Every structure is written in structure tokens, then in C-alpha cells.
Structure 1
Amino acid sequence: MLQTSYPYYLANTPVAANTDLDVLDKYTGKIATCVAFADATAVEQAIAAASAARAAMAAFPPDARRDVLEHCVRRFSERQEELAQALCIEAGKPIRDARGEVARLIDTFRIAAGEATRIDGEVIELQVSPRTRGYRGMVKRVPVGACAFITPFNFPLNLVAHKVAPAIAAGCPFVLKPAAKTPIGALIIAQVLAETDLPPGAFSVLPCSNDDAALLVEDERIALLSFTGGLVGWDLKARAGRKKVTLELGGNAACIVDADPGLPLDAVVERLVSGAYYQSGQSCISVQRIFAHAGVHDALRAKLQSAVAALRMGDPHDEDVFIGPVIDEAAAERIERWIADAVAAGARVLAGGPRRGTLVPAMLLERVPHDADLYRKEAFGPVACIEPFDDFDDALARVNDSDFGLQAGVFTGALAHAMRAWDGLEVGGVIVGDIPSFRVDNMPYGGVKGSGSGREGIRAAIADMTEPRLLVIRDAPR
């Protein structure tokens, strides 16, 4: 279902400059299609076009922005299976998960369409002393200007959507660099945007090298940089100068399973399996560390061990496959090495097996040392660690014993424990009654510590992509 080749998009226009970028089928390892690969000149032209389009995009009426976003919703809905199959090929995502991501892509654009005409301001009461009598204050939000977006490989559709859709709603032109390993979804989104009447220069989508993308980070004509990816984001922020920067840099998410006689362990296991092994664990909020109260630990471990061992691994096009390939051989080798190092240091494998190329089976371990890479870093693979705890506050402290802080999950029936978790966990979001991997596309999403800065989610992103502009009016003398 893929085209034989794809152009990149420069200032709203497809450019078949070359076919230099091979996109691999992540399961077979064979070339699936080819993509035009932009150079530094194209990136410079895209920034110039976005900068020139700033006034036109700001003047593009909110209802017209909404209409563009609603057009995208219709077209993505019509092309759902094409998008899912492309995602299955370029990312190796099991087809059921791929269809789920397409559904979220559509949701994200639909939410943005609703918000496009709800970017409100406020009236400020300035008459707070005799000196300010007769003055009126009002604030409106205006677009910040040209934005640069850099997205990773693991959600090639919806992580792009979380930058592109709010930018259109806010009235910001943008240049997007999608991950070179998974550019197809972003280019299909660009195809659909090219069908609309967005002002010339409003968008560019350019697969390119990291070196050529340096302009997106450093150029002063860019008003905002939004980056999703690894810890290199902190280096990008240091190089970004005066522009606004939002970073989503991942984590090693934890989930607490509290003592609760009424806790349905089978349902908890189902959610933990989904959170830890969904799309082969290649999610920023994948469940990596599980802390189970001693009262439920043994039963939970046994049920989880059986469920993990039963997960089917193989061709992501197979409707029954749950574990597909990780993104490349290097990632698979790293995950395998981290597991081996943890085992050499005393960890015990409860479920899993040997790697087969880019296929890493679902792995469950216990007794993982807290100084192991598998515990301290982001595994970004189908691996989870489980350990018991006796005291709830100790469990909270273990969750916080991390350089990351994106989201955490807490299964508990105790309201006091839920509130203590919300008060005390050093994360961007606390999910009570579910896994940290839960996300709705309109909620503010982001982390603290090494997990980044700023928030995504449509309204939060629109707030970042706009800035307040004050108007003060003095009443005429009477």
C-alpha cells in the first residue's frame, strides 16, 4: 500500500528532490519505499518560508483553521487502513496497535479543531487604586510565530499530530523534521495538509540529517522549538538561544500495586501487560518498574509471569501478534545487553527468552539491582522489573528514586494513598487505578527532572504556541 517513493514538503509544496532515504520494513529488514531527503539548503528555505508566513498565519481566521483541521479529520478517517499499514511497515508496530494510533491521530486533530475557535483572552480590572481609575485592561493570545518540531520514531503519527495540530489551531507556521527511520506517516499528513488553503509557507515537512536540522534549533527566526526524543534534548535546549523550548524526553515509568483485598488482580495484570509490552515497550511511559505490596506480590508475580510468557511475538501484520520488532538491531542488542548485565548482577528472569534479530521477547525480571541500567535508564523495549514493598511511603520513595519523572501509576483502593501519591510523586502525571502508560490526547502531558520541560496536549501546546498581548485603554476625560 506504500507509494514507491515520497517527496518531502517545502512551503506547502511536494518536492521530489531525490530518493536518497531508504525506509525499511522493520520486520523483514527490506527496503519498503524511498523518501526525498532534504539538505541544509532546503531547511533554510523552509525556515525562511515559515518566517515569511507568520503574518498570514496569524491573520488566517480561527474558523478557517478549524476547517483545515476538520478536513484532516475527514481525510485521515478515509485513509485509516492505509495509515495503519504504513505504520505497521515503517515502525514494525503490530497492526492492532497501528490502528489504535491512527484513531488517536484522528482524535488529536478533532480536539484541535474544537480548540481553534476557543483561544480566549480576559478582561483585567485595573482600577485597583485612585491612580488607575479610568483605565481598562484586556489580554488576547497571539501566535508566537514560526515553530520547529522534531519527532521520534515510536509514534510517527500521533506525536507529529501533537505538534502540528495545535500549531495550526494557534496560527503558527512550522517546519517539521520527522524521524528518518519512520518518515512516512508525517509525509502522508503533509499530503493532506497540501489539500487545504493554508497560507503559502505555512508548513514544511523535511526528513533530513541531524546536522542539517541544526538550523531548526539555532536559527533566531524560529520562535519555538518542540522536541520529543532522548536526553539529547537538553543539549538542543542549550543551543536554542532565546526561543521557547518544550521537551518530552521519556522515562522509566513505575507502577505501584497497593495492598487491597478488593483489588482485581487479573484486571491489574491485563493493564500491566499492556503498559509494559504494548508496541514492544517502545513508549516513553511504558511500565518499566513494578512495585507490588508484599500482601499481593507473590500472587501478582505468578499471574504476570504466566501472562507475559503467553504473549505472541512475530510478524506485526499478523492480527494475533502482540510483540513486534524493535526499531533496529542496535536497539535490540542494547536491550539484550542490559538484561544480561542485570542478570550477572543478581537479577532473575521470570519470563522471556533469547533475542531473534530485532525481535526481543517480552521479558519480566525480579531482583534487579537499583544501580543497573535496566532499572535506572529508559529501557525502551519489552522489559519490566517487579519487586515487593511493605510500606506505601517506601514505595513512593522508590518511584522517586529516578532521574526521570514523566508519569506514574498507582493501583490502590485507599483515597489517602491516592492523595499521598499525587502530593508526593515527582512526576508530571499520577494515574490512579491504572498504568502510567494511560494518556488522553487533550490532557496536559509532560514530565519533570530528566523527562523534560513544558507540556503537550492540545490546550497546553496552544498555550505554549501563543503569548499574551495586553491592551490598556484610558477613558477619555469627561
Structure 2
Amino acid sequence: MKMLLNGEWVERAARMEVRDPQDDSLVDTVPQANAADMNAAIAAAVCGFERTRRLSVHERHAILTRAADLVAARREEFAYTIAREGIKTIREARKEASRCVDTLRISAEETRHLTGETIPFDQRQGSENRFGFYIREPIGVIGAIAPFNDPLNLVAHKIGPALASGNTIIVKPHSETPLSALRLAEAIQEAGAPAGMLQVITGRGSEVGDLLVSDPRVRMISFTGSRATGETIMRKIGLKKVGMELGSNAPVIVMADADLELAVSANVSGAFWAAGQNCLHVQRLLVHEAIYDAFVPRFVAGARAYRVGDKLDEATDMGPIINRAEALRIERTVNEAIAAGATVLCGGERHGNFYAPTVMTDVPDSCALAQEEIYGPVTIVSRIRDLEDAIQRANAVDYGLQAGIFTRDLQSAFQAMRELRVGGVMINDSTDYRIDAMPFGGVKGSGLGREGIRFAVHEMTEPKVVCFNL
């Protein structure tokens, strides 16, 4: 495929291979952009902003609506691309493609809700003759760096709000999974986006990503990825806005009064969806001691029943890890926990780039598996005495994206809601629940700002005050 630069699909002599992590087969190649390409993209985005900031609401709405219609019409093609280049099964990929359609439609609707409000200037003595209001205006060029795990919908979560609010955006997709972003750009360009409004530049982070985040002409960086990379970006970014979603080590509390069947099924899905390569992955299960012996065997049985294999097989539940280095990292992290005294209840085995659904217990708090994000299909199960014990353990890591609690007791639900230090509390759901319209983000090491279309639009605009002295 080619990359989108200033309204043109361009080739480069240097190419990057996109390989299927399942069997290392070649899926496609894309241009390997250089610093000159990124400089050209930023210059085009600056020029393009002079057009996009003047686009009417109905024009922005029409572009995003047409783009949503095109993705919906090509849903199976998008799903196949997601599955081939990345880690999702075809069934998981279809759900992502459907969510992308929703994301674009919500973005279109948000063009109509980008409003300000009047300001009572006469609240100050001497301002009785003043009247005014504020409006929200686009900030300019936005740089977006996307992850591999949701190569279509998380790109849409950056493009949709940016276009809805009249900005221009340069997307640097993950080097392992650039094809979905390029296909989305095709749909948006076909929908009528003017040159410079959206550009997708494929290349290595060290060659083009660093330039994107550090250039002062770029007024905001939207990044989804690892905490380590996020911290590196922050050291380079300069004076500009930033939105970052940096992952988690997500806890789910299962109380004694929980619906056991619901808690098992929801958390099996939450633990092993996308092979655990998901910021909302259920990494820690904190189970009340009264039901621990009933819950754990059922959860382990669900993990063992999870079908691992060919991503394009309709019967497959879970595909591979994104590459060999990541599969080896997961294996190493699990083995370190075992050496420290942890017990493997099921899984704990790597076969090439596949890692079996793994459930562990007795993991010491000092282990990386207990403190850091595993980003793989590994879940820890621990006993808790009561809700206070569970909340203390849930909060004992330097992450706070989402948490879950399963209980029938309203008081327990409200106590968890108040005391869990996270960006979202899912009650009688696993942490792996999200809709594209809700504010999404975390506290502590899980990031800065919020995604979710309306909230991202707010991040990508600035208020301008207008005051009349009548």
C-alpha cells in the first residue's frame, strides 16, 4: 500500500514489511517514510488547517457520515485486514470494524454539539453594560500515534474527534499494523476530506515519530501505547497539549454475593480477548475467600476451554502475540513469577508467537506480573477477606485505568465507586467494557486526559471569549 501525504497516495523506495504474527507470512509492504516526508506532512497540515478551521458544521458532518457509510459497506474487508496484520481473530476483528463505524457516526454527531455558552459579565461591578460568550475553536495540527492492538478503531478515535472539531491530523500508525489505518484514510479521503486534513505517514518511530512529537507546529499529541514510550514522548514534546492512554494492571473484585456464572464468563472474556493485548485486560482477580474455591475452578475451566489457533478460523477464540519479542517477554515475566513462588493453575506455555491462556495464584506483590502491565493472556487470582482489603489491593499499583466489581449489594458497589482510584468502575462487568461515547482514560500511570468522542473533541479545541461593551 501507499501512504497518504498532502492528499496524494505516495510511494517510497524504502519499504517496510507487514507480516502476519501468526505465521510470519508477508501481508503487504508500506513506504518507510523519512524526516523529509514528516516535515512535508506537517507543512501540509499547517496549510490545510486554514481550510479545515473554516469548514462548516454540515461539511464536517457530511465527511464523517460518508466515511462511516463506506466503512460499514466494507466491514468484512476491514475485518480481514485487522485480522491478517494483527493479533485479532476474525470474530474479534468484525467487532472492531463495527465499533469503528460507531466511532465515526458519533464523531459526525459531535460536530453539532461543539458549542459554548453565554457569560454573565455583569456579575462584576462596573460591567453592567457588558455582554458576551465563549466559543470553542480547533487548536491546529494534531499528531496521533496509534497502537497495534486496535489498529482501526483506536485510529478512528483520534481521527474522528480531530475532523469533527476542524483540526488537521497526522497519524503515525504502529509499524506492525499500518494497513488498517491506511484503509480508513482511503475511506475518509473518498468521503471528501480536503488535502491536508488527514495524512497517514508510515515509518519507524525513531525516524518520523520523534519529529512529529517535537515539532512546535504540532499543537497536540494524542498517544496510545506503553507507559515507557509515553514518558519518553513527554520528555520531547515541548509546549503543546497532550492526551495519553498508557495502559493498566486492571483489577476485578468478586464479592461473596456475586452472580458466579456472570463473574466467570465476563472475566474469562475480559482476560483473554485479543490474547490479553488490551489496556483493559483483566490482570488481577480479587476473589472473596467465601467463594474462592467455587470461583477459581470455573474460571480455570473457562480459560482451558478458550480455543487458540488460526485467526481466520471462525471457531478460534484467541490468536497470537504481536511478535516473537513480546511473546518471549510474557514468557520471561511468567517464569520470574514462578521462580518467586507463584503457582500456575493452567497455561504458562509458549508455542512460537502463541501464549496459552494462563491463570496463576500466589504471585508475590514484588513480582513485575503483580505490579506492571503484562499485555498478554495472563491473569492472577488472589483471595480477599473483605471489600476494604480488596480496594487496598486494587489501588496498590501505579496504574488506574478501569476496575471492576461483581456484587449484588448497592452499598458495596458505591463504596467501590468512591474508593477505587481509577478512571472508570465497571459494576457487574469486567474491566474490559467500554463504549465509544464514554469518557475513557485513567489516573496515576495510566495516562493523561480522556478519549471518547465528546471528551476528545473538548481536548482538541480551546475556548475563545467574546465580550461586547455595549
Common fold by TM > 0.5: yes
**Counterpart mapping for 1:254-269 below 5 A:** 254-260=251-257, 263-269=258-264
Deviations 1:195-223 (A, max 9, x none): 13323211110111112221111111011
Q: Distance in 2 between matches of 1:450 and 1:130?
A: 45
Which residue does the alignment assign to 1:466? 461
**1:381 CA drift (Å):** 0.4
Which residue does the alignment assign to 1:325? 320
**Structure 1 residues not aligned, in runs of 5+:** 1-5
| 4+ residue runs over 4 A deviation | none
- 3-state SS in 2 of match to 1:89: helix
TM-score by length of 2: 0.98
**1:18 CA drift (Å):** 3.4
* Alignment partner of 1:218 out of 214, 218, 223: 214
Which residue does the alignment assign to 1:34? 29
Q: Distance in 2 between matches of 1:393 and 1:36?
A: 53
Deviations 1:381-434 (A, max 9, x none): 011000111121110010000011110011111211111111111111111111
Which residue does the alignment assign to 2:197? 202
**1:74 CA drift (Å):** 0.8
Checking the alignment, whether the CA contact within 8 Å between 1:272 and 1:287 is kept in structure 2 is: yes
User: What letter is aligned with 1:284?
Assistant: C
**Counterpart mapping for 1:51-200 below 5 A:** 51-200=46-195
- Between the aligned residues of both structures, percent identity stands at 39
Q: Distance in 2 between matches of 1:324 and 1:198?
A: 35
Deviations 1:287-345 (A, max 9, x none): 00000011111100011111111111111111111121010011111111111111111
- 3-state SS in 2 of match to 1:117: helix
Q: Distance in 1 between matches of 2:120 and 2:301?
A: 63
Please tell me whether residue 246 in structure 1 is matched to residue 231 in structure 2.
no
**1:113 CA drift (Å):** 0.8
User: What letter is aligned with 1:113?
Assistant: A
Which residue does the alignment assign to 2:279? 284
Please tell me whether residue 419 in structure 1 is matched to residue 405 in structure 2.
no
Checking the alignment, whether the CA contact within 8 Å between 1:13 and 1:194 is kept in structure 2 is: no
Deviations 1:142-191 (A, max 9, x none): 00011000011111001101000000100000111000000000000111
Q: Distance in 2 between matches of 1:69 and 1:332?
A: 38
**1:461 CA drift (Å):** 0.3
**1:129 CA drift (Å):** 3.7
User: What letter is aligned with 1:210?
Assistant: G
**Structure 2 residues not aligned, in runs of 5+:** none
TM-score by length of 1: 0.96
**1:130 CA drift (Å):** 3.4
Please tell me whether residue 25 in structure 1 is matched to residue 41 in structure 2.
no
Q: Which moved more, 1:322-331 or 1:412-421?
A: 412-421
- 3-state SS in 2 of match to 1:171: coil
- 3-state SS in 2 of match to 1:371: coil
Please tell me whether residue 45 in structure 1 is matched to residue 40 in structure 2.
yes
Checking the alignment, whether the CA contact within 8 Å between 2:3 and 2:11 is kept in structure 1 is: yes
Checking the alignment, whether the CA contact within 8 Å between 1:43 and 1:215 is kept in structure 2 is: yes
Please tell me whether residue 229 in structure 1 is matched to residue 222 in structure 2.
no
**1:353 CA drift (Å):** 4.6
Deviations 1:97-131 (A, max 9, x none): 00010011111001111111210110111111431
Q: Distance in 2 between matches of 1:198 and 1:352?
A: 48
Q: Count residues with an aligned counterpart.
A: 468
Checking the alignment, whether the CA contact within 8 Å between 2:256 and 2:291 is kept in structure 1 is: yes
Which residue does the alignment assign to 2:396? 401
**RMSD value, Cα:** 1.0
